[in-house]
Amino acid sequence: MTESYDLIVIGAGMAGVSAANKCASQGWKVAIVDALPYGGTCALRGCDPKKILRRGAEIIDSARLMRGKGIDDEGLSINWADLMKHKHGFTDPVPRNTEDSLSGNGIDTLHGVARFTGKTSIEIGDIPYEARHFLLATGARPRPLDLPGHEHLIDSTDFLDLEVLPPRILFVGGGFISFEFAHICARAGTAPVIIDRGPRPLKGFDPDLVELLITRGAEVGIELLRSTTITAIEKSGSGYQVSVERSGQPETREFDMVVHGAGRTPELAGLDLDAAGVDWDEHGVRVAAHLQSTTNPAVYAAGDSANTPGMPLTPVAVFEGKVAASNMLKGTTTIPDYAGVPTAVFTIPELARVGMLEQDASAQGIDVDVRYSDTSGWYSNYRTGETTAAAKILIDRSSDRIVGAHLLGPEYGELINLLALAIKLDLTTRQLKSMTAAYPTVGSDLGSML
């Protein structure tokens, strides 16, 4: 006998869990399924464990910055095994806690690979299920790399479970994953190298601040190879021989480990979406603005699974999941609001952004006042010994409203949230500067940045 539901959610990450809970709270019969442990990428294999490891790197870096200023950092080092144990203290309980919480809300928790057998039917293993609605929230996987020896690479999940950190690590790709992991490794005593095919890494961030970050990274031992293409990876007696082409010239370097940091793609291939008549491609399920499949009205998608304007961020996936759930419950076509969503690369120091880049604003014909500040000498950074920090705020001259903000510095991942709120609520810089902040805090620097 086929089990029937109002909603089956495929993917037990934060987007899927939030949607399942929302619909169950309104009396719907809901099931959720995942082939992996419940909790999703962010909590188990991404942002949360990564930032726990970063904490160790922060301590090392902070102590080094205060060398000669009252702190003797001689002999201070990261115990990688203990740091990893600390990480597991957070991640290990997540699957059980997530599943117990869902079950407590009356949601059926299923395990296994789901595949569609029709527009409103799936199989998990050999067991059939039906539903009036489906939400796809399956997340993403590392983008396949077409190069000889690609099987030798480990991915970010593997890296976050390393019991021992080897001394020579190559990160492939110039994005979030490579930069964040490289900054951790550099403070843990390894020699990290980042290879990027193009001349400009971290393309989604302000290029001037990216260059400052690259220089800061070089000072702690991070080597960046730009405009460099890997041609082959071969196993050697002591590690891996990596052949590259750099400025038209072949080179060979040896590493102990090669890590895939060259982007991710939606995890949809195993769902047999064609059987459900769902239009999709490597960018995700093609959805209308309100997150409903353009070809199968029973199917919605959120997060990495959906081809939307939203950035591939956990908070975006969560609010997309909630909007999709609301639209299913009410039969509405509400469109997610993507305005004022900040993002950050948690290097040391962190690089953050909200709103437009300069070229975006120029392309839209906005008369922009670019307010740039080198904040490295400001009190907040003098206090910690940080030598690299800057802010670039883009103001529409005609309205006095922020259209973009770009920050590089300690705790600026928190400060960007105030600027995101200003964009979200359409505040003017005059209104922002009227705020009296607690002093001395990093937040109290905002008025001077404006």
For the chain, domain boundaries: 3-47+86-142+265-330, 150-262, 343-449
The answer to whether 76 and 63 are in contact (CB under 8 A) is yes
Task: Give dist(CA 106, CA 25) in Å, integer.
Answer: 9
Taking all residues of the chain, what is their mean pLDDT, rounded to a whole number?
96
d(CA 273, CA 147): 28
State how far the Cα of 384 lies from the Cα of 377, in Å rounded to an integer: 11
What is the CATH class of 150-262?
alpha beta
DSSP H helical ranges for 287-378: 314-330, 358-363
Q: Which CATH number fits domain 343-449: 3.30.390.30, 3.40.640.10, 3.40.50.10860, 1.10.3720.10?
A: 3.30.390.30
Residue range 32-54, pLDDT digits in tens: 999 999 999 999 999 999 999 99
pLDDT band at 313 (very low <50, low <70, confident <90, very high): very high
For the chain, give the percent of residues with pLDDT over 70. Answer: 100
Give the CA count within 13 Å in the CB-facing half-sphere of 32. Answer: 32
Question: Rounded to whole angstroms, how far apart are CA atoms 167 and 114?
Answer: 40
Question: Is pLDDT above 80 for 349?
Answer: yes
Q: Which two tokens stand for residue 32?
A: 């959720």
Digit-coded pLDDT (tens) for 82-134: 999 999 999 999 999 999 999 999 999 999 999 999 999 999 999 999 999 99
Residue 264 · residue 143 · CB < 8 Å? yes
Distance CA 177, CA 122 (A): 34
Other C-beta atoms within 10 Å of 313: how many?
17
Helices H, strands E: what count in the chain? 14, 24
Cis peptide before 297 (omega within 30 of 0): no
Q: Six-digit token pair at 323?
A: 């909007």
Q: Is the pLDDT of residue 64 over 80?
A: yes
pLDDT given at position 10 = 98
d(CA 126, CA 384): 59
Phi, psi of 353 (to 5 degrees): -150, 145
**Do 343-449 and 150-262 have the same topology in CATH?**
no
**Contact by Cβ (8 Å): 169, 191:** yes
Structure tokens, 276: 């459900």
Strands (DSSP E) contained in 80-188 are 108-111, 114-118, 121-124, 127-136, 140-142, 168-172
CA gap 164, 175 in Å, rounded: 24
End-to-end CA distance of the chain: 64
CATH code for the part of the protein at 3-47+86-142+265-330: 3.50.50.60
Q: What is the spatial distance between Cα 314 and Cα 442, in angstroms, rounded to a whole number? A: 25
Total-model pTM: 0.95
In this predicted structure, the answer to whether residue 13 has a pLDDT above a threshold of 90 is: yes
